[in-house]
Amino acid sequence: MDNYKAPIRDLQFNIFELFGYDRHYQDLPGYGDVNAEIINAILNEFDKFCSNILSPLNAVGDQEGCQWHDGEVTTPGGFREAYQQYVEGGWPALAHDPAYGGQGLPESLSLILAEMRGTANWAWGMYPGLSHGAVNTLKHHGTDSQKSHYLSKLVEGSWTGTMCLTEAHCGTDLGLLRTKAEPNADGSYSVTGTKIFISSGEHDLTENIVHIVLARLPDAPVGVKGISLFIIPKFDVLEDGSLGDRNGVRCGSIEHKMGIHGNATCVMNFDNAKAYLLGEPNQGLQAMFTFMNTARIGTAMQGIGHMELGYQKSLAYAKDRLQMRSVTGPKNPDGPADPIIVHPDVRRMLLTQKALLEGGRMMLCYTGKFVDVIDHAADPEQRKAAEDMLSFMTPIAKAFLTETGFESANLALQCFGGHGYIQEWGVEQNVRDARIAMIYEGTTGIQALDFIGRKVLGSGGELLKNFTREVHQFCKAHADDEAMQEFVIPLQALNKKWGDLTLHIGTKAMENADEAGAASVDYLMFSGYACLAYFWARAVATAQAAIAGGSSEAEFYEAKLATARFYFQRILPRTNVCEQGILSGADNLMSLSEAAF
């Protein structure tokens, strides 16, 4: 199969036409020079790296995997050379602070490139992807000394970072963690414990790896209030910035996994490892959320990546594979059969992928703008509004896009029939690689609990109202546009139902706390489908305006209209099932005794 090619035209539609990134950048301090010409040049240049260098290594990484020997990990053939090219091209530094060697470009643009990188080769892309979270955490919580010691090397990519949370006995419930940190006379700490499932924990791509680790101080309170955050480099960093002795941290083994074989998922043993407190004592979980929230947006991007890769492969196959004749007459009369894209069910699978993919990409492009505002807007009220919206959107994006990403990857495999189940087409790898995204950085269930509990009910519904108010204003603005009514009318009704369901859950939860948990996943998925309905309606308005203006790309815009119509008529009704699940209550989940299972 052909290598991945970045969907440049669809990215441009989102960046320039739908969300006005170029105008958005003009409104933020320091971004005035970031114009359409620069953005397009970056997209096209990075596409060359992704399609020519990373994409051919995707199958290599899956088949070779990482190799562990005596605590050292060797990445698959070509990974190290690709990483060197990535660093030489300046790509790791793109969206980071120039004070530490970054190029100072917007974070929203970096997220677009992360989609391209991840779609081409998700396992490879995790190595630099985790460094991005480490940089953000150090930038927000590190001392000046820590920033000077670590940030420039992480920004340029000569070092990478990890996030070390999970232990064998505690995953989501971090209050149970046992890793200990003992203070040393010189102000450092000695950390002892074992962490599991550490992505990129050990590898041969860089000279140093900076681990961001949760541990407990000796006098720490029990539970999550007694967790501190530490920097533990693989090699200690001396005062002049050079590398010192090997630290007391070793990779005990690597996991044998269902997918993402090209990324080393490690058991990391800390044995009196020299560590440095990051942030305030016993405030580590709050600081770690800086890293985790970056990772959650990145994982949402993973869902898009698997949708895009599956869609590209299955679309090409459906146009090429000849099977049977169309029931309405031959469409390929000179051939022995018609291409399978003529058959309605194949089109259902392709259009489902296309609608979820392009709608999901809109969701992340929309969300990315808030990251820019938080980082750079001068107005504190504008930053607070962006923080609220990002807080609201993050659990939806992470959970909804990884769930629909896995669905889409499976539909792509189904388009291939039996050929999809064998290795050489790459679609079965895509399914395996996609499955982890619904688990790590907080499972779908955890995201749903956070969403309904903390973000919606916990804010008294205010975070939800911020979004539904925007949807309402859009519907009001297009109330008299007859061509928009097939989209505006159902969107307006859905927006009202969203509020009604929220009130229902909140009222029931006051009587029985299990009601919120019982409704949570259905509620989050309902919210995801509702968000995509809004973004697709916006896309329709943009496409209709382009067609009315005599665009030379009428076929591109007509495809947007047709896909939006498919979404509203074929996918959006899934919200009815979500609604029925919510209204059915907690009893059908909780009444059965444990012994009866």
Residue 302 near residue 122 (C-beta atoms within 8 A): yes
Q: Nearest Cα to 396, choosing from 385, 404, 386?
A: 404
Neighbours of 504 (CB within 10 A): 17
User: Cα–Cα distance between 365 and 359 in angstroms, integer?
Assistant: 10
User: Cα–Cα distance between 470 and 455 in angstroms, integer?
Assistant: 17
Q: Compute the CA torsion angle 6, 8, 9, 15 (nearest 10 deg).
A: 130
Residues 6+ apart with CB under 8 A from 362: 14, 18, 19, 532, 535, 536, 538, 539
Neighbours of 577 (CB within 10 A): 12
Q: Nearest Cα to 223, choosing from 276, 178, 171?
A: 178
Determine what percent of the chain falls in helix, strand and coil, rounding each to the nearest 5: 65, 10, 25
User: Cα–Cα distance between 561 and 572 in angstroms, integer?
Assistant: 15
Q: Is 470 a known active-site residue?
A: no
What are phi and psi for residue 544, nearest 5 degrees?
-60, -40
Burial tier of 74 (Cβ tally within 10 Å: 0-12, 13-18, 19+) = middle
Burial tier of 64 (Cβ tally within 10 Å: 0-12, 13-18, 19+) = middle
Residue showing tokens 């492009």: 365
Residue 219 near residue 181 (C-beta atoms within 8 A): no
Q: Are strands 159-164 and 208-215 parallel, antiparallel or unpaired?
A: parallel
DSSP class of residue 31 equals: -
Residue showing tokens 């009202």: 496
Q: Tokens for 398?
A: 């992470």
Largest CA distance in the chain: 84
Residue 291 near residue 138 (C-beta atoms within 8 A): no
Residue showing tokens 């009866």: 596
Neighbours of 506 (CB within 10 A): 16
DSSP codes joined into one string, 345-375: HHHHHHHHHHHHHHHHHHHHHHHHHHHHHHH
Residue type, 457: L
User: Cα–Cα distance between 185 and 367 in angstroms, integer?
Assistant: 45
Q: Given CA atoms 14, 15, 17, 23 in this order, what sign does their dihedral have?
A: positive
DSSP class of residue 342 equals: G
The one catalytic residue among 167, 358, 441, 579: 441
Residue 263 near residue 124 (C-beta atoms within 8 A): yes
Collapse the DSSP code of 187 into the 3-class scheme (helix H, G, I; strand E, B; otherwise coil) and give the result.
coil
Q: Which residues are tagged catalytic?
A: 441
